[in-house]
């Protein structure tokens, strides 16, 4: 991190310098540490510039000029979500900063850092990655400015973007650049996106509107007007430039036309089109999510002015031995010494937890895990996980004997994959568990159950907690797992996320019916009683999700009251870039279905006061929300729920006589 450290190592320069918006914690849960240790193991000298001052380029020169490239990341969390709440209020803390101090990273960190790197050494390649860049690889709706923004590649003036867990791509890129190649020559690298100003020869272009016809599309020109000449090597035009042979496949000829599917790409509507037509935006989002399987996805191309953003298929998932190798690199498992005794909350939260897998096949529309890590589960071996538990026991200061979590994006998808590799390679389902659990999905949790048992037996371990989100509809397929979990790994409370009670809203989330929650609760209570433990489920819910209206939220609050739930921590829908629910929020269309001109128009809650009202329904027990809820109940014709009886949701206003009001007589006020 400093020239002094470089001198101690005998380095005259760094090959690669990673610029990150997080404090540097050398732990496999932090992206910059994984990439840094990976590249180090490949023989490269890696420097890290953590949370630099960004008002000028001086701190970006602190380690000198990198020999190969700058790697720029916004950190483990999107910089805008890190700084602003769903109501666009400033957060008071930054969990990834020493002592949680806010203001140590700029908004849109990847863009700002990339610009400063360019100022520092203008001719050094810039590689961007991490969650912030990954979710902005094409034109995306930006909640914070309330508009569609260009691909981050354009705004950051970067040379290439690596999306998802990029171990394969970053390794290949580093070795190719070290061998003397230019970034522009690596445009076909899996898991990458780059800018191209010219067409790609001998490839076939497929118009996305021919695959999934959206509404309000432009008039389609005659397909036979396109240049469709086969490219012959050595053939040149009058300016002695090679002719590019692009085949445009029209409908209905697409189904019968012969072309090389491995050398074809899908052209999405351009940035200008999705900017001006929200239906086309929803269509583009739908196509992007359909092309997420690394085994059958096609490259995606989107025009931005005179340039194309070319997005290659996702990276091939890591095998178990590769995952084990990544997690067995020589991490120090603690923050850099330069931070002294400063507390980094994100580190405190994960320092005794173990990541056992990656990916999620749940496909929840409001979540970006699938878009980043993919749907195919990548699991570590038992031996690797148990070895890490021993490292935590031996290396983490103050270890008390408790492993705070064995999990990942979900608690119970470890080693669960498609039963058939052939089916997996051809599948385009957005979720393996919605609307029903796929019959081809392996739902046997025995590997997870066995892992839990072995983890508890590690010398020095007193307790293993499970804190990752549980997919309870999946757990219902294996009651032995539920019994093991409830008996040994719940410390009084288990957090799960039904998200809502109403099917209308759940269908837009791609979440199971609330009946699955009820079925799980019966088993949870049964096994808790058998274990002689008093334990409770803590359900999480979302307000203001696209497709959810005030009546849905009222029904949810009645569901909560009937079960005597008084939620403390509740969430308002946060439109993160690239999520399908964000496309719903922006377009009021449902990209889970083909986007048509007469497609269902979704109820979307965008007004800040309406969003706060929906959140208030979740906290019906908080007297601060009662005035707002009284007005809302009157407006929707449910004044009968105001009173002091058990059948009432909220009490009558003190000191005033209750009046009978007609529906919609009053409008919402603050």
561 assigned to some structural domain: no
Do 145 and 271 share a domain, yes or no? no
Provide long-range contacts, Cβ within 8 A and 24+ apart, for 662-665: 663/634, 663/635, 663/636, 663/637, 664/635, 664/637, 665/634, 665/635
Distance of alpha carbon 360 from the chain centroid: 10
Residue 249 pLDDT: 46
Do 173 and 298 share a domain, yes or no? no
Positions of the chain with pLDDT lower than 70, given as ranges: 198-200, 211, 213-259, 597, 655-670
Look up the domain containing 24 and give its range.
3-196
Do 218 and 289 share a domain, yes or no? yes
625 assigned to some structural domain: no
Q: How far apart are CA 578 and CA 139, in angstroms?
A: 9
pLDDT tens for each residue of 211-247:
675 544 334 333 333 333 333 333 333 333 333 444 5
**pTM for this entry:** 0.90
Q: What is the CATH number of the domain that holds 473?
A: 3.30.750.210
Chain position carrying tokens 């994960």: 350
317: its two tokens: 């998932």
Residue 653 pLDDT: 87
Q: What is the CATH number of the domain that holds 161?
A: 3.40.50.2300
Residue 133 pLDDT: 97
Q: How far apart are CA 278 and CA 148, in angstroms?
A: 9
Residue positions counted in the chain? 670
400 assigned to some structural domain: yes
Residue 258 pLDDT: 60
Q: How many helices (DSSP H) and strands (DSSP E) are in the chain?
A: 24, 24
540 assigned to some structural domain: no
Do 37 and 139 share a domain, yes or no? yes
Q: How far apart are CA 359 and CA 249, in angstroms?
A: 34
Do 239 and 129 share a domain, yes or no? no
317 assigned to some structural domain: no
Residue 662 pLDDT: 41
Do 283 and 210 share a domain, yes or no? yes
644 assigned to some structural domain: no
Do 107 and 230 share a domain, yes or no? no
Residue 385 pLDDT: 98
Coil/strand/helix, residue 128: strand
Given 472, 489, 506, the domain boundary residue is 489
Q: How many domains does the chain have?
A: 3
pLDDT tens for each residue of 19-66:
999 999 999 999 999 999 999 999 999 999 999 999 999 999 999 999
Residue 569 pLDDT: 77
667: its two tokens: 């409008």
Q: How far apart are CA 372 and CA 349, in angstroms?
A: 22
Q: How far apart are CA 449 and CA 406, in angstroms?
A: 11
Residue 213 pLDDT: 53
Do 384 and 247 share a domain, yes or no? no
Report whether 25 contacts 33 (CB < 8 A): yes
Do 45 and 165 share a domain, yes or no? yes
Do 172 and 221 share a domain, yes or no? no
Report whether 545 contacts 498 (CB < 8 A): no
Which residues lie below 8 Å from residue 296, measured CB to CB, with a gap of 6+?
Answer: 425, 426, 427, 428
Given 196, 220, 242, the domain boundary residue is 196
648 assigned to some structural domain: no
Tell me which residue of 338, 467, 320 sits closest to 403, measured CA to CA: 467
Given 460, 489, 518, the domain boundary residue is 489
HSE on the CB side for 467, CA within 13 Å? 13
295 assigned to some structural domain: yes
């Amino acid at each position: 991190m400093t020239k002094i450290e470089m001198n101690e190592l005998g380095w005259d320069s760094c090959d690669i310098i990673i610029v990150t918006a997080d404090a540097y914690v050398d732990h496999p849960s932090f992206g910059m540490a994984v990439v840094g240790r990976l590249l180090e193991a490949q023989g490269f000298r890696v420097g890290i510039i953590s949370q630099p001052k960004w008002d000028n380029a001086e701190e970006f020169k602190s380690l000198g000029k990198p020999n190969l490239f700058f790697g720029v990341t916004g950190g483990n969390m999107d910089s805008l979500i890190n700084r602003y709440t769903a109501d666009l209020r400033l957060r008071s803390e930054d969990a990834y900063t020493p002592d949680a101090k806010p203001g140590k990273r700029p908004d849109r960190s990847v863009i700002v850092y990339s610009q400063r790197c360019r100022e520092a050494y203008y001719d050094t390649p810039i590689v961007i990655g991490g969650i912030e860049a990954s979710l902005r690889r094409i034109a995306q709706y930006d909640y914070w400015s309330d508009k569609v923004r260009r691909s981050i590649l354009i705004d950051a003036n970067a040379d290439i973007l690596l999306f998802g867990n990029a171990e394969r791509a970053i390794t290949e890129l580093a070795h190719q650049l070290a061998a003397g190649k230019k970034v522009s020559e690596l445009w076909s690298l899996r898991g990458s996106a780059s800018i191209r100003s010219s067409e790609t020869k001998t490839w076939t272009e497929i118009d996305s509107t021919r695959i999934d016809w959206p509404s309000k599309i432009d008039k389609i020109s005659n397909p036979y007007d396109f240049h469709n000449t086969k490219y012959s090597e050595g053939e040149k035009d009058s300016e002695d430039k090679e002719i590019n042979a692009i085949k445009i496949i029209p409908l209905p000829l697409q189904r019968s036309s012969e072309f090389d599917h491995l050398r074809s790409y899908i052209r999405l509507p351009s940035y200008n089109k999705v900017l001006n037509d929200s239906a086309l935006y929803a269509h583009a989002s739908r196509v992007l999510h359909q092309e997420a399987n690394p085994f059958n996805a096609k490259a995606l191309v989107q025009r931005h002015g005179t340039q194309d953003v070319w997005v290659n298929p996702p990276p091939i998932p890591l095998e178990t031995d590769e995952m084990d190798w990544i997690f067995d690199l020589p991490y120090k498992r603690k923050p850099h010494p330069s931070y002294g005794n400063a507390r980094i909350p994100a580190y405190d939260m994960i320092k005794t937890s173990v990541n056992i897998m990656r990916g999620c096949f749940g496909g929840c529309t409001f979540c970006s895990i699938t878009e980043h890590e993919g749907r195919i589960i990548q699991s570590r071996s038992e031996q690797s996980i148990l070895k890490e538990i021993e490292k935590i026991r031996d290396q983490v200061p103050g270890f008390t004997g408790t492993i705070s979590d064995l999990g990942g994006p979900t608690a119970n998808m470890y080693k669960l994959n498609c039963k058939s590799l052939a089916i997996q390679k051809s599948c385009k389902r957005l979720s393996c568990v919605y609307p029903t659990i796929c019959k081809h999905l392996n739902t046997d949790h025995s590997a997870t159950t066995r892992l839990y048992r072995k983890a508890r037996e590690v010398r020095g371990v007193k307790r293993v907690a499970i804190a990752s989100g549980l997919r309870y509809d999946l757990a219902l397929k294996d009651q032995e797992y539920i019994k093991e979990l409830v008996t040994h790994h719940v410390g009084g409370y288990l957090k799960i996320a039904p998200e809502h009670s109403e099917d209308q809203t759940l269908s837009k989330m791609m979440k199971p019916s609330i009946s699955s929650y009820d079925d799980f609760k019966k088993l949870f209570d049964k096994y808790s009683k058998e274990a002689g433990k008093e334990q409770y489920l803590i359900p999480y819910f979302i307000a203001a999700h696209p497709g959810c209206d005030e009546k849905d939220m009222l029904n949810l609050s009645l569901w909560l009251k009937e079960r005597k739930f008084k939620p403390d921590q509740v969430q308002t829908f946060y439109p993160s870039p690239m999520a399908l629910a964000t496309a719903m929020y922006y377009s009021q269309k449902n990209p889970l279905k083909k986007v048509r001109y007469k497609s269902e128009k979704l109820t979307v809650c965008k007004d800040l006061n309406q969003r706060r009202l929906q959140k208030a329904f979740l906290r019906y027990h908080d007297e601060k929300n009662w005035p707002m809820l009284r007005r809302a109940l009157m407006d929707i014709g449910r004044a009968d729920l105001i009173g002091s009886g058990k059948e009432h949701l909220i009490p009558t206003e003190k000191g005033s006589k209750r009046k009978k009001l007609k529906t919609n007589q009053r409008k919402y006020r603050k």
